[in-house]
Structure 1
């Protein structure tokens, strides 16, 4: 109950719930259309999706400032790779939110002469760059953890050799690939925050790729990716220990 009270009191949490509902509508609308549902029902679902999208933009007003503050904090990280990836990601998020705020002005009719398509493309480009930085950070974190695991295994092998245990023969390449995959799965299973972050960023990546025409899929796939990443984001808000730090 305390987790839910804390969750419902956060504007970010409410935005995530609305985002999940929006992409659920995207998925539902595509599914109904493919199954031959009535045009009126499909239109109603699409209108609801549009209203939810507009509501999300309202909740994101001012998020550029938060992203800039996060970038200022990240610039003091000691690890140069993490500092670069996280700072650049937050700066791109700040630009993405700024473009999104401008889009909100256009969609609400405050600025009627605005080229909404141009600003939409700009916002998705900044969103894409931010996600690329996030995934780069995830890969770097994975690399560090795999190096630690490999070093510990090498140390154990040296101890065995010193105790008179005969070392194994050199393995063929395809066996090494299998070992690396098992090691990767082991690391992700033992690091839920990293696993969730990889899944969330991977799902989100398909959204700007589709909107920018770089990897065309379909609204149903985009809706599924957006719904999945939204649920994962909600989990990290309800259970803060699942959020990848720093």
Structure 2
């Protein structure tokens, strides 16, 4: 038995709960430790405690703690949590028009690879593609700053029969779709309305995407990308058609016979 093991066994031995450790016979240091603890035990046993506390002690005794005081920190934390949830909860949004929601879903399918657009980086070639497929003469705006033209596809987001031209860009590495729409649109919610340079446009959140809708005459341009509103607007103004739309000039989409 080591010295540490012996010293742990001294108190049980003094209390009569264990036999004397054999190590005490050969270790002077452990015997001194045992003698000191035995003397302490004897002094403690000799002490006589009063059956009742002294009056002075009773006067200094603390009053019973109010049970609700320990709950104060928890209640304060709960109140802060409720307030934080109230402040950070998303603001209620207007329902997204069906056309915008369907167009956003079409954009997501392009991003995921479910739909593979025609890879045409030349605006003239993409214009010929839409002429052949949709019988429409679509002005394909060249990519602006920090952007490249990737191609196009025929979007089936139209409510009912028909399809729309969808031009696909990559802006700062992020895909952006531009849909050219020529149809009657329902009234747009007032909360989505914005004005820039006298030009009215609408902004919607569609999941992770932001959609920006700008109309001139009967033609509407719908840009969609996984950007916030400010970044998307900056990307839109980087294209020639975006600058034209926000300058108030009339945009046209001509049919081809």
Larger radius of gyration: 2
TM-score of the alignment, normalized to the shorter chain, above 0.5: no
TM-score class, shorter:
under 0.3
Task: Give the structure, 1 or 2, with the largest relative contact order (CA under 8 Å, sep 6 or more).
Answer: 1
**Under a length normalisation based on structure 2, what TM-score does the superposition of the two structures give?**
0.21
**Under a length normalisation based on structure 1, what TM-score does the superposition of the two structures give?**
0.21
Which structure is higher in helix share?
1
